[in-house]
Structure 1
Amino acid sequence: MSPSPSPSAMPDPAAAWSVLLEPRFVRLWFGTTASGLATWALPFVLGLAVLEGSLDAVGLGVVLATRTVGFLAAVPLAGVLADRYARRPVVLASGLAAAAATPLIALGLGTSVLLMAVAAAVAGAGQGACRPAFQALTAEVVDPDRRQTANAAITLAVRVSTLLGPTLAALFALLTSVQTVLLGIAALWLLAALLPPAGGAAPTVAGPRPGVVREFADGFVEARRHPWFGAGLAALTAVVFTGYSVTGVALPLVSRDVYGSEVVLAAAATGYTVGALLGALLVARWRPSSPGWWAMAGLGVYALAPLALLLTPHPAFVVAAYVVAGVGIEVFNVPWFTAIQREVEPRLLARVSSVDFLFSYGLAPVGLALIAPAILTFGLTPVLAVCAVVCLAAPALACLVPSTRRFARAV
């Protein structure tokens, strides 16, 4: 494995941006964008089905829950398969699985919640399987000096997807039907499966392979070799568990009960996405000498979200807090993904990425499930205060690990 670049050996900005003109990366970018649009559009389309009466609220909860179960079950398995059999076939298989399952969701709409739930589990598995495979494929398609720019371009696509996915889904649902939009989502998954380019060849292993569980455990062993990864993942998990739960549960409550409408909720969510877009543009070419510390500072900025809801200032300040939080999350995300691609042994990259997704975003539903009872038990103010402290303290504690400063073992 090549050594980490020194802070003085920064890539030429023009050369870094040239990755956006590489045909192989462009194909990868469009593939990830298609998967992002499909991922973010599906829950919104199912919500439209509730509004039109073809699905009730209980059915919606069941379908979304099975989708999440499929996602969580597929992430660790996909990490093993992507390292074992190469990354491109896993992207192809996961995209095709989601593409095949989504029309079955449309078929079950209004007739069988069971069919929808089973199909949603398969679609969720396809979504979860493509995440670590895409992460590892990016490292194969893009050379090290241009990966940060490439990761910023990919995260831009993700943020645009979160902004446009629900809007486009609603527009097409008005023009056609929910079933037709679901078929369009299946087409997006087909593009996600077919567009990305081939990466490296599958590794050759002498003798019999260990089992899937053992191979996934090897990913944990590799992750433990990088203290900065463990510290950063713990901080990210804490922020997602508390801060993201605040946004999902407390923000709608405060918007309704304190500000009297859903306008603050919509404006804050939009502001967060706009901030994330600005943050991705910033880190596309910014190369600080201590990227890990800056990343942790960006992650800690999410404390502004629960703090703003706690203080209930003018709505403009709440929206501004979410804009700044959005900038900060990408100041963390892009260097984080780039460091994993640079520092982790290539043959274990998909598995370590699976560990990342499994703990950070995999535990997010648990936080969402617990925060509402916590608010009912202890009150909104103490819960928001605790969440703000956790969002600030967890990244600060991660900075105490020496290798966190540069997201590299060599400090």
Structure 2
Amino acid sequence: MTASPRLSENTSSQPSILRNQAFVRLWSGTTASGLATWALPFVLGLAVLDRDLSPAGLGLLLAAHTVGFLVAVTVGGVLADRYSRRRVVLFSGLAAAAATPVIAVGMGWSVPVMTVAAAVAGAGQGACRPAFQALTAEVVDEGRRQQANAAVTLSVRVTTLVAPALTALLATVLDTGVLLLGIGLLWLVTAVLPPAGAPVPRPGQSHGSFFAEFADGIREARRHPWFLAGLGALTAVIATGYSATGVALPLISRDRYGTEAILAGAATAYTVGALAGALVIARWRPRHQGWAALAGLACYGFAPLSLILPVHPLLVIAAYLLAGVGIELFNVP
């Protein structure tokens, strides 16, 4: 009984994580990457509204970006274990920073060039994810990592909401090409701002081969049936849901409702729903987590269903709100 006050006193006496300059730099880089990540699909959707990009072109760009992300994030964890996490962030951020302006240059000129650039940008996004997570443990002592994780989580949640809204606001005075250049600058900040972390052994000192470590990860994944089931379900939703709505929503917003407000409203409602879902799952512990997670993922089906018929715009926004809640009920478990 006497330990609790002492623990509370020690916890409250710890300095704020925001006084750690290394973490503030890391947090700022993470925030910049989040803004760039969530702004890009929205900017491409605006390009369709402005008829700078065809629906087929948008579909190709979104698919290439997703493939690049999935390939890079698959191996990014191994790279972060074998090499300097700071260096992984640097090169992946620079790759995305260089590729994003190429998308702007290719707009209305060459869809294949834009597609390759989108794949490289997605790869940069995917490769930096595991390295950012590992850098947090390197620059923050164990006693303040909970503060650090909370600050990073808050950044992630806020950027998913702010990026589309800020992009919609800037789109009233800037064209698509300038917005894409701005995203490239955000990736440049992501690359150069984070601090150096703790040194790691060079390959060969304490690591096996790259492929051996990758195979270890696959074997570990196979030991968790719900992980594989969730990964398969998420792959199906990305292939048939995210891709379809990513192309259809800008078109329907323009052609059916005659305004980009539906695109902005649906994107905002989705992120608000995700925030609400995160709050729910932070307190709710379902008895069967696997089934509850898959049920949450199924809620994404409301989004494409709302686009089939000419329903009231508020129903479209409500459907995206439910989809956001459901996707977070799936993501956290």
> What's the TM-score bracket when you normalise by the shorter of the two chains?
0.7 to 0.9
Amino acid of the structure 2 residue aligned with 1:115:
V
1:30 positional shift: 1.3
Note if contact 1:39-1:127 (Cα within 8 Å) is conserved in structure 2. yes
Q: What is the CA distance between 1:73 and its match in structure 2?
A: 2.2
Question: What letter is aligned with 2:227?
Answer: L
Aligned partners of 1:322 and 1:110: how far apart in 2? 30
- Given the alignment, which residue of 196, 210, 213 partners 2:211? 213
Q: 1:233 aligns with which of 227, 232, 235?
A: 227
Q: 1:232 to 1:247 in 2, by over 3 A?
A: same
Aligned position for 1:39: 37
User: In 1, Cα distance between the equivalents of 2:13 and 2:300?
Assistant: 36
Is 1:22 aligned with 2:16? no
Partner residue, 2:173: 175
Structure 2: which amino acid aligns with 1:119?
A
Shift of 1:107: 1.2
Paired residue for 2:135?
Answer: 137
Aligned residues: 312
- The letter of the residue matching 2:109 is T
| Identity %, equivalent residues | 57
TM-score (norm 1): 0.60
Normalised by the length of structure 2, the TM-score is: 0.73
Paired letter, 1:40 = W
Q: 2:309 is matched with which residue?
A: none
Give ranges in structure 2 of 5+ residues lacking alignment. 307-311
Which residue number corresponds to residue 184 of structure 1? 182
DSSP 3-state at the match of 2:76: helix
Give, in whole Å, the separation in 2 of the partners of 1:303 and 1:170.
Answer: 28
Taking structure 1 as reference, are residues 237 and 177 closer, same or farther at Cα in structure 2, changes over 3 Å only?
Answer: same
Quote the Cα distance in structure 2 between the aligned partners of 1:148 and 1:131.
19
Q: Which residue of the other structure, out of 79, 84, 87, is the alignment partner of 1:86?
A: 84
Question: Which residue does the alignment assign to 2:164?
Answer: 166
1:42 Cα deviation after fit: 1.3
User: Could you tell me which residue of structure 2 aligns to residue 408 of structure 1?
Assistant: none
Deviations 1:95-133 (A, max 9, x none): 011111111111111112122122112111111111111
Shift of 1:138: 2.1
What displacement does 1:63 show? 2.1
Write the deviation string for residues 206-232 of structure 1: whole angstroms up to 9, x where unpaired.
5696543223123334556xx6xx255
* 1:188 CA drift (Å): 0.2
Question: Are the aligned partners of 2:33 and 2:190 in contact in 1 as well (CA < 8 Å)?
Answer: yes
Q: 1:181: how far off?
A: 1.0
1:191: how far off?
0.7
| 2:99 match | 101
Residue 373 of structure 1 corresponds to none
Q: What SS is found at the alignment partner of 1:199? A: coil
Partner residue, 1:193: 191
Q: Distance in 1 between matches of 2:115 and 2:225?
A: 36
